[in-house]
């Protein structure tokens, strides 16, 4: 959205700059042409080129109203300017004509529009000036100085005034104004981005607080329940809520609101789950091997829930009681958006015949559904002791996330 706003402002500034330069150049061309004709007694070529440029430039501006093609309008204006300045230069002294500096103004205007156009008109101007020079030193000249000798100083004076005013008073002034507008727009956009980031931080903070409130309510509800099976189900739901709350908490704490450092998240989640299920003094060791991988919220939450289920199952059913055990979590990036997760324990494991299709275990079903939500696949690794999974998945965007949820 911000980029679109910037682009619109840049286009608007270019339109205003091009049309203003064109109108000013037309007016001064008319005036200069009339001065040449009636004051400086120049009756050949020069005044008519000035008047012709003025007329064609106005027509070019009027045509823009219908076709709205700024590039076409600008290039027609530049070609008219190059052609007119070349013709006037050749008939007012050639390489010694003060009007030759108008060619440089066309180049400057080209760079003010885009660097590519500036380069094109720079090379064209260099070629034209070189041709004027060669034509001036050759024995056979196609043109002559049509300015009367007694009026050449006045013509030079007016040419310099014309060039300076066009460069400083028109181009420079409008460029400065355009720069000021761009700077003002940039500051406004940065302020909006800051406001958006602040709002997003607040949203993540409130979501985290709300999820923690849900977790607290589940904890309070479980205290009045004596059935251990039901109590464990509520505790599992509480852990799932906490795993999601941690993602929002980490996003709230970071400057980059789009991604979280996943190693820190898994370390915090695994520490919480071990204490929650086994208590503070447990004999379970968690080995985490995750490089500096950052994941967006649409991938972090379902992957976090998957890890939560696998760890919970390992702590509850794989590593029995207070026995010693190890859990390993390894996450690797294998392509641009492709990852592989190895997670498991060295506990007692369960039968190879049991799978998410023929079991009533909600945790096992969730693990497979979450892998599918991550556009991935999950298989059990029977080469190791205990229960171990190999999960191949992709980092998903917001649209993928909503499609997979639906």
Give the H/E segment covering residue 194.
helix 173-223
| pLDDT tens per residue across span 195-221 | 777 777 777 778 878 888 888 888 888
- Coil, strand or helix: which one is 150? helix
Considering the domain 225-405 in this protein, what is its CATH number? 3.30.565.10
Q: What is the pLDDT of residues 12-49, one digit of tens each?
A: 555 666 677 778 778 888 999 999 999 999 999 999 99
pLDDT tier for residue 78 given thresholds of 50, 70 and 90: confident
What per-residue confidence (pLDDT) applies to 188?
78
| Residue 17 to residue 271: CA distance in whole angstroms | 62
Query: pLDDT at residue 393 above 90?
Result: yes
The reported pLDDT for the residue numbered 139 is 67
pLDDT at 8: 47
Better pLDDT: 20 or 307: 307
Q: Are 32 and 67 in contact (CB under 8 A)?
A: no
Q: 128-183: per-residue pLDDT in tens? A: 889 888 887 876 677 889 999 999 999 999 988 888 877 766 566 666 666 677 67
Q: What is the pLDDT of residues 263-301, one digit of tens each?
A: 988 998 898 888 888 887 888 999 999 998 888 888 888
Nearest-10 crossing angle of helices 115-137, 101-113: 170
Angstrom distance (rounded) from CA 20 to CA 59: 14
DSSP of 28-56: HHHHHHHHHHHTS---SSHHHHHHHHHHH
pLDDT per residue over 358-371, tens digit each? 766 777 888 888 88
Residue with tokens 């070349």: 86
pLDDT score of 171: 65
Distant-in-sequence, close-in-space partners of 180: CB < 8 Å, separation ≥ 6: none
Token pair listed for 384: 């190791």
Indicate whether 256 pLDDT > 70. no
Between 401 and 76, where is the model more confident? 76
Domain ranges of the chain: 2-189, 225-405
| Mean pLDDT comparison of 53-62, 111-120, 173-182, 346-355, highest-scoring range | 53-62
**pTM of the predicted model over 0.85:** no
Q: What is the mean pLDDT of the chain?
A: 82
Kindly provide the b/e burial profile for residues 322-354, where b requires at least 16 CB atoms within 10 angstroms of the residue's own CB.
eeebbbbbebeeeeeeebebbbbbbbebbeeee
The mean pLDDT value for 98-122 works out to: 79
């Amino acid at each position: 959205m911000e980029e679109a706003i910037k682009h619109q402002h840049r286009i608007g500034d270019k339109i205003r700059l091009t049309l203003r330069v064109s109108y000013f150049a037309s007016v001064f061309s008319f005036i200069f042409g009339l001065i040449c004709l009636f004051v400086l007694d120049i009756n050949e070529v020069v005044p008519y080129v000035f008047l012709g440029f003025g007329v064609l430039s106005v027509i070019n501006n009027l045509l823009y109203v219908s076709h709205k093609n700024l590039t076409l309008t600008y290039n027609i204006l530049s070609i008219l300017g190059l052609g007119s300045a070349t013709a006037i230069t050749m008939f007012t002294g050639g390489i010694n004509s003060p009007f030759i500096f108008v060619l440089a103004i066309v180049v400057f205007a080209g760079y003010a529009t885009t660097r590519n156009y500036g380069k094109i008109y720079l090379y064209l101007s260099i070629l034209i000036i070189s041709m004027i020079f060669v034509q001036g030193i050759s024995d056979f000249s196609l043109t002559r100085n049509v300015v009367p000798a007694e009026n050449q100083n006045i013509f030079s004076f007016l040419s310099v005034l014309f060039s300076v005013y066009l460069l400083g008073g028109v181009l420079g002034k409008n460029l400065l104004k355009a720069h000021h507008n761009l700077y003002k727009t940039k500051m406004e956009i940065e302020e909006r981005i800051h406001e958006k980031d602040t709002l997003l931080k607040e949203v993540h903070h409130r979501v985290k607080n709300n999820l923690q409130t849900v977790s607290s309510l589940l904890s309070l509800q479980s205290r009045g329940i004596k059935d251990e099976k039901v109590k464990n189900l509520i505790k599992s739901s509480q852990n799932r809520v906490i795993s999601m709350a941690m993602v929002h908490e980490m996003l709230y704490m970071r400057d980059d609101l789009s991604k979280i450092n996943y190693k820190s998240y898994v370390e915090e989640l695994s520490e919480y789950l071990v204490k929650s299920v086994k208590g503070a003094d447990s004999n379970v060791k968690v080995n985490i091997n995750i490089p500096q991988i950052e994941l967006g919220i649409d991938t972090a939450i379902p992957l976090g829930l998957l890890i939560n289920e696998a760890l919970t199952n390992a702590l509850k059913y794989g590593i029995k009681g207070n026995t010693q055990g190890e859990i390993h979590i390894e996450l690797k990036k294998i392509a641009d958006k492709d990852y592989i997760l190895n997670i498991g324990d060295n506990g007692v494991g369960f039968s190879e015949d049991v799978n998410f299709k023929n079991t009533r275990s909600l945790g096992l079903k969730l693990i497979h559904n979450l892998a599918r939500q991550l556009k991935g696949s999950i298989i059990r690794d029977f080469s190791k002791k205990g229960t171990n999974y190999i999960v191949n998945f992709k980092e998903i965007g917001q649209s993928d996330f909503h499609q997979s949820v639906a």
